[in-house]
């Protein structure tokens, strides 16, 4: 979980990122193009987190993200976005990224984001007690970190799994967005609250019968979300 892939075509930014991650104790693998990043991931299946630049010479970072996610739901993905448009961030998260950092970023901010994600992904559930939580048509297996709906596997990222677990452990209770952020991303996370909304929206697309009319995860206006089954 200590190996980080850094995909960035601008050599000076890449070395800035690499130097700071190395200083924070991470091993880094570098890539300057999307193809190179995908190849490096094939060669290094133990990479825990990938940092993906968006503007690249061969394909955009969202496409790289999609291709990584098509075969790997375990890896953590952080998009490095130069643009400030909200849509870019949302697009990145909808393609399966866990977080994003807007350039220019400070070494401290980047390292904090990577630390938070690594910590989140490395958290082992307490396996001594129950390994399954069921709620309505859903069955969550905390040993394998998998989710089934009506007996069929729903593919989740590690963060989506953590959100589902939080919901299923708190059925019928309105959870504040801050509470979800603290529980899933960790108290040290200093990103925006909006990331909760984007992940919930993505989760709804995967688990709801109709994401436009969500019945399992309802919105508690001005507050947060509630799990209803």
Q: How far apart are CB 97 and Ca ion at their closest, in Å? A: 16
Distance separating alpha carbons of residues 122 and 116, to the nearest angstrom: 10
Between the two ends of the chain, the Cα-to-Cα distance in Å is 34
Q: Does 205 bind Ca ion (CB under 5 A)?
A: no
Beta-sheet strand order (sheet of 174-176): 174-176, 224-227, 217-220
Q: Does 208 bind Ca ion (CB under 5 A)?
A: no
Q: How far apart are CB 82 and Ca ion at their closest, in Å? A: 7
- Residue 206 phi, psi (nearest 5): -90, -35
- Of the candidate residues 19, 55, 193, 205, the single one contacting Ca ion (CB under 5 A): 55
Query: What does the per-residue mask of binding to Ca ion show for 108-147, with x meaning CB under 5 A?
Result: ----------------------------------------
Residues 6 or more apart from 225 whose CB is under 8 A from it? 167, 174, 175, 177, 180, 200, 217, 218, 219
Complex with Ca ion: residue 57 or 222, whichever CB lies closer:
57
- Of the candidate residues 1, 2, 3, 9, the single one contacting Ca ion (CB under 5 A): 9
Residue sitting closest to Ca ion (CB):
55
Would you tell me which residues interact with Ca ion (CB under 5 A)?
A: 9, 53, 55
């Amino acid at each position: 979980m200590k190996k980080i892939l850094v995909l960035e075509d601008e050599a000076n930014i890449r070395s800035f990122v690499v130097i700071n991650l190395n200083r924070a104790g991470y091993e880094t693998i570098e890539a300057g193009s999307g193809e190179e990043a995908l190849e490096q991931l094939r060669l290094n299946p133990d990479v825990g987190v990938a940092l993906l630049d968006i503007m690249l010479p061969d394909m955009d970072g969202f496409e790289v993200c999609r291709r990584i996610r098509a075969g790997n739901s375990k890896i953590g993905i952080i998009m490095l976005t130069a643009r400030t448009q909200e849509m870019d961030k949302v697009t990145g998260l909808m393609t399966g990224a866990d977080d994003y950092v807007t350039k220019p970023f400070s070494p401290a901010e980047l390292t904090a984001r990577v630390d938070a994600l690594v910590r989140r992904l490395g958290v082992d559930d307490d396996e001594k007690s129950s390994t399954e939580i069921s709620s309505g048509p859903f069955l969550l297996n905390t040993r394998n970190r998998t989710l089934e709906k009506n007996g069929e596997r729903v593919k989740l990222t590690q963060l989506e799994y953590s959100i589902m677990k939080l919901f299923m452990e708190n059925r019928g209770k309105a959870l504040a967005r801050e509470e979800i952020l603290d529980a899933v991303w960790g108290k040290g996370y200093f990103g925006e609250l909006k990331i909760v909304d984007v992940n919930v929206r993505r989760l709804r697309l995967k688990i709801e019968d109709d994401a436009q009319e969500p019945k399992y995860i309802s919105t508690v206006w001005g507050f947060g979300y509630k799990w209803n089954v």
